[in-house]
Amino acid sequence: MEFFRIHKTIPFMRHALVLNAVSVVTFILAVFFLFHRGLHLSVEFTGGTVMEVAYQQPVDIGKVRETIGKLGYQDVLVQNFGTSRDIQIRLPVQKGQTSAQQSEQVMGALKAVDASATLRGTEFVGPQVGEELTTNGLKALGMVVVGIMIYLAFRFEWKFALATVLANLHDVVIILGFFAFFQWEFSLAVLAAVLAVLGYSVNESVVIFDRVRENFRRYRKMSTREVIDNAITSTISRTIITHGSTQLVVLSMFFFGGPTLHYFALALTIGILFGIYSSAFVAAAIAMWLGVKREDLVKGPVKREGDPDDPNAGATV
């Protein structure tokens, strides 16, 4: 399916050096902010108090969050738990306060607004759990990267595998850099979004590289740069359709999903935009600079000039 078709190949690789220079600068800044400011980790990673509160009537989560915010808590996660009358509250660790004192203070504020508020249970998530989640998250990220390299090495060629992994790590670090710079809360939902972006970006790279391999078979007189330019140009319509429709869904979560999905949708938005950019410019350019050539991808017999689908059929040699 195509909304439009571009008949003239756009010379994307002509500007590869400039575009990748911008990527390098952005990447370095992201790394700097990650080390200088660090990530603003949520309760799942740092530890804190988890409360389950029940009401007699459906509760307005926004009002609950506002009530707790007046107590001085800035990073509070409030969400429905089971039904619209039950909520779960996650409070960060407060210096000088125990978990029991926190829950007592919060319940006092909630009961002042609605006397039907009842504490069903409270639990302290200690730093040990937070450290375990951090370790498991990094393991998951590492396994995804290794899996991507193995898949692409078998599907295409090691140069494309290396180029794709570098481009995907570029996306991940930049997403984390945004969260470090603006000190947005980094939660398990955001980590899930980062892992989703990895798969999303790989899919875009596979589409482009698949077209590159097809072009190597079809156009024998094209140089590697021309083959890559043609592959990116011919997949633009598909990119706009797939990424545009996905972004519409993500934007609906961003605007209407509430605070629970806010940073999840934000991470996906950044990842989708940079995923398109890195697949078309970073991964393709790195593969070109690594010296990918027709012989790396075309293992079987190559179509020769004069074959029915050769665009140069009938040309004089």
The verdict on residue 304 lying in a domain is no
Shared domain for 272 and 234, answered yes or no, is yes
Shared domain for 89 and 162, answered yes or no, is no
- Between CA 180 and CA 36 the distance in angstroms is 9
Shared domain for 28 and 164, answered yes or no, is yes
The verdict on residue 308 lying in a domain is no
Shared domain for 140 and 186, answered yes or no, is yes
Shared domain for 285 and 171, answered yes or no, is yes
The verdict on residue 315 lying in a domain is no
The verdict on residue 316 lying in a domain is no
**Parent domain of 110:** 48-125
pLDDT, tens digit (0-9, with 9 covering 90-100), for 259-272: 778 999 999 999 99
Ramachandran region of residue 258, left (φ > 0), alpha (ψ -120 to 50) or beta? Answer: left
Please give the single-letter amino acid code of residue 131: E
302 pLDDT above the threshold of 60: no
Q: Residue 177's pLDDT is what? A: 95
Strand partners for 49: 91, 124
CATH of the domain at 34: 1.20.1640.10
Of 103, 125, 147, the residue at which a domain comes to its end is 125
- How many C-beta atoms lie closer than 10 Å to residue 90's C-beta? 19
| Cβ 43 vs Cβ 68: under 8 Å | no
CATH of the domain at 58: 3.30.70.3400
281 pLDDT above the threshold of 70: yes
Confidence of residue 130 (pLDDT cuts 50, 70, 90): low
305 half-sphere exposure, CB direction, 13 A CA radius: 9
- Between CA 157 and CA 234 the distance in angstroms is 21
36 pLDDT above the threshold of 70: yes
When divided into structural domains, the chain yields a total of 2
310 pLDDT above the threshold of 50: no
- Between CA 107 and CA 241 the distance in angstroms is 49
